[in-house]
Amino acid sequence: MENSSKNVIITGANRGIGFELTKQFAAAGYHVLAATRKPLQAVALNELADKDENNITIYKLDVTSKLSVDNFGKTLAETPIEILINNAGILDTYESSIDDINLVDFAEVLVTNTISPIRVMRAAMRGLRLGNTKKIVNLSSFMGSFEGQSNGAHAYRTSKTALNRAMQIFGRELAEEGFIIMNLHPGWVKTDMGTEAADIDVVTSVNGLLKTIESTKLEDTNQIIGYDGTTMSY
Ligand SMILES: NC(=O)c1ccc[n+]([C@@H]2O[C@H](COP(=O)([O-])OP(=O)(O)OC[C@H]3O[C@@H](n4cnc5c(N)ncnc54)[C@H](OP(=O)(O)O)[C@@H]3O)[C@@H](O)[C@H]2O)c1
């Protein structure tokens, strides 16, 4: 199959890693279904889509809204999807402690980073089952690994740990249908979330992620895979 007939959903496609994934998947000839919660304000994404109109279609999607995800799923119901990339995510703060932790914010991080990828995945299942590739990719983080021993960012770390675990279980269940579910670590990347202090630029990260997404086989999926091919256990 030519890449041009391969549909890839990318959530949070308007900035950061999601925007660069959109750029690089479109450049590789895929058709990107670029989902963002505010399409009218997504200036760079609209400019990119205008230049590359056959390869990028913009959709409105707030991953935390049941109504928005349901509508997205209905719109795409008969469209074969090759790859779903759950990229949208939030980091509330690194600076948290038992004395000042904000549990409302904690819950919002869990809903956005853990529950919402599952909701989007469920909405996309019909299309994914019509496709051949059957890959579900989650932007996770080494911060969610039990091997990571640094502190802070309680909600974020917990949300990624839970995401890894949930997706591992779905992965086992769906393997018999030929699905490959992977939890990827993009590196510490210079984006709004990663800040300018981060290790790598977004182009380097996404170059590696794209190669990993295309090459990952079923047997690789019980670990977090880094953009550079390094792995870490859950
Ligand atoms: N940067 C890093 O160093 C790093 C490291 C490890 C993992 N990650 C993971 O990689 C992914 C992308 O990170 P990033 O650095 O690109 O972050 P970012 O620059 O902060 O961008 C986050 C993206 O998620 C979208 N988003 C957030 N909540 C949403 C919602 N409810 N509905 C739809 N979209 C929503 C944002 O859209 P709006 O513009 O509408 O807010 C934005 O497009 C995240 O899952 C993150 O946890 C990043």
The per-residue pLDDT for 4 is: 56
- d(CA 86, CA 163) in angstroms, rounded, equals 11
The per-residue pLDDT for 166 is: 97
- d(CA 49, CA 223) in angstroms, rounded, equals 34
162 lines ligand 1 (CB under 6 A): no
Which ligand 1 atom is at minimum distance from the Cα of 42?
39
Q: Which of 9, 15, 199 has most ligand 1 atoms within 8 Å of CB, for mutation?
A: 15
The per-residue pLDDT for 1 is: 41
125 alpha carbon – ligand 1 mean position (Å) = 22
186 lines ligand 1 (CB under 6 A): yes
Instruction: Name all domains of the chain by residue range, CATH numbers in brackets.
Output: 3-232 (3.40.50.720)
The protein residue whose alpha carbon is closest to atom 40 in ligand 1 is: 37
Q: Which residues contact 132 (CB under 8 A, 6 or more apart)?
A: 1, 80, 82
The per-residue pLDDT for 120 is: 98
34 alpha carbon – ligand 1 mean position (Å) = 14
The per-residue pLDDT for 54 is: 73
List the 7-11 sheet strands across, edge first. Answer: 56-60, 31-36, 7-11, 83-86, 135-139, 180-185, 224-226, 231-232
64 lines ligand 1 (CB under 6 A): yes
Q: Which of 43, 41, 42, 13 is nearest to 26 (CA)?
A: 13
Tokens 């390094």, located at residue:
230
Q: Which of 20, 37, 91 has most ligand 1 atoms within 8 Å of CB, for mutation?
A: 37
pLDDT digits (tens), the chain, 234 positions: 445 579 999 999 999 999 999 999 999 999 999 999 999 999 999 999 999 767 999 999 999 999 999 999 999 989 999 999 999 999 988 888 899 999 999 999 999 999 999 999 999 999 999 999 999 999 999 999 888 777 889 999 999 999 999 999 999 999 999 999 999 999 999 999 999 999 999 999 999 999 999 998 877 667 899 999 998 888
Report the alpha-carbon angle 172-178-183, nearest 5.
55
